Amino acid sequence: MSNAIEKVLVVGLGNVGSLVATLLQRSGFEVSGADARPVEALSFPSEVFDISDSAALGNALEGCQGVVSCLPYNFNLPVARAAFERGVHYFDLTEDVPTTNAILEMATDAKSVLAPQCGLAPGYIGIVGGDLARQFDSVRSIELRVGALPRNPKGNFGYSVTWSAVGVINEYLNDCEVISSGKRALVPPLDALETIDINGVQLEAFTTSGGLGTMCDTWDGKVETLDYKTMRYPGHCEKISFFLQEQQKTLVSIEETARVLTAACPPVSEDVVFTHVAVEGQIDGELRREERGGEFGPLEIGDIEWRAISWTTACSVAAVVEMVNSGALPSRGFIKQEEIPLDAYLSTANGRLYRS
């Protein structure tokens, strides 16, 4: 199968999914959408069906060369399997490790691209981390940090649910894969608390699952330390740990926990995304530490101001779709985010938004 993508189906038309579809349409792709509920005022055709309806999903994929799943992490696999069976290029935003592992197994026999984890973290942060690490002759440690936060924190958690609350809870509950002392290991979430200063803003950082994507596979046996941490305002880790423990004691489902968290930390329009990458290693025989940080606020796209977390996530996956279409990335098999060349990524119509 060639790379060429003319028509893309976007499944899941929430804030991020609608923007992904809009960005792809603005980039010249023919776009259609699908969601479990009707979505109004879209600039592209959409249909309503349950993702568990395999016949409806198959029909929606007819004539498409690409599909982007913007669904919660626990609904991605049916879309990935349908794309795999039809030789359609597949992209998603998942941070869920079991989902990614299942897609990785499919990729061995794939006739098309299977590219999960194309969001912010994993996704953009791994692309930046991979690019910085390639500047070293040998690498000792890689640290990746991302925080999606309200610009003006309020409430006990100092947080706002600006994307999938179920995804946030999933990251907070699952063990985190790292490389420590040169060996792959699983460590608890909400652990290894540290203080970090980003552009004069004091934050705390702690382990959460999924942010490294496939980087432990890539760097196994090559580095002493590799980890990912989520950044929040000081005090969040302690309070969210207590909250989750209390929820688990009463056997509350992850969906109900997500609803409670959203009610306590409703979305805000004025948000900010902080990113920080640090790599240590040898350059020309000298031990060096190089760092790259970013701060991204809301951005106006198509006369609409989009939250920072929405556009940073959406433009990331749209940029990868562009790169597959242009031939800048392989035409089949699994694509690791950390192997995507940063300069080419930032040169795409959507990747350029990170320079805005």
Q: pLDDT category, 1, cuts 50, 70, 90?
A: very low
**Residue 119, pLDDT score:** 97
* Strand (E) or helix (H) holding 209: none
pLDDT at 262: 95
Q: DSSP string of 10-61?
A: EE--SHHHHHHHHHHHHTT-EEEEEESS---S-SS-EEE--TT-HHHHHHHH
Residue 250's region, left for phi above 0, alpha for psi from -120 to 50, else beta, is alpha
Q: How far apart are the C-alpha atoms of 65 and 44, rounded to whole Å?
A: 17
Burial class (CB in 10 A: 0-12, 13-18, 19+), 144: buried
Domain ranges of the chain: 7-121+309-355, 124-305
* pLDDT above 70: percentage of residues in the chain: 99
- Of the candidates 207, 194, 273, the one whose C-alpha atom is nearest the C-alpha of residue 241 is 207
- Specify the pLDDT at position 10: 98
Say yes or no to pLDDT of 319 above 80: yes
Q: How high does pLDDT run on average in the chain?
A: 96
CATH architecture entry for 124-305: 2-Layer Sandwich (3.30)
pLDDT average, residue stretch 55-84: 96
Whether the model pTM is above 0.75: yes
Query: What superfamily in CATH does domain 7-121+309-355 come from?
Result: NAD(P)-binding Rossmann-like Domain (3.40.50.720)
**Per the structure block, which two tokens stand in for 248?**
């688990």
Burial class (CB in 10 A: 0-12, 13-18, 19+), 297: middle
DSSP string, 224-278: SEEEEEEEE-TTHHHHHHHHHHHHHHTT--HHHHHHHHHHHS---SSEEEEEEEE
Say how far apart CA 163 and CA 170 lie, in whole Å: 13
132 by DSSP, 3-state: which? helix
pLDDT in tens, 157-178: 999 998 889 999 999 999 999 9
Please state the length of the chain. Answer: 356
pLDDT digit string, tens, across residues 83-130: 999 999 999 999 999 999 999 999 999 999 999 999 999 999 999 999
Tens-digit pLDDT profile for residues 254-293: 999 999 999 999 999 999 999 999 999 999 999 999 999 9
At residue 3 the predicted structure's pLDDT band, cuts being 50, 70 and 90, is confident
- pLDDT bracket for residue 251 (50, 70, 90): confident
pLDDT at 354 over 50: yes
Token representation of residue 175: 């063990």
- Asked if the model's pLDDT at residue 2 lies above 70, the reply is no
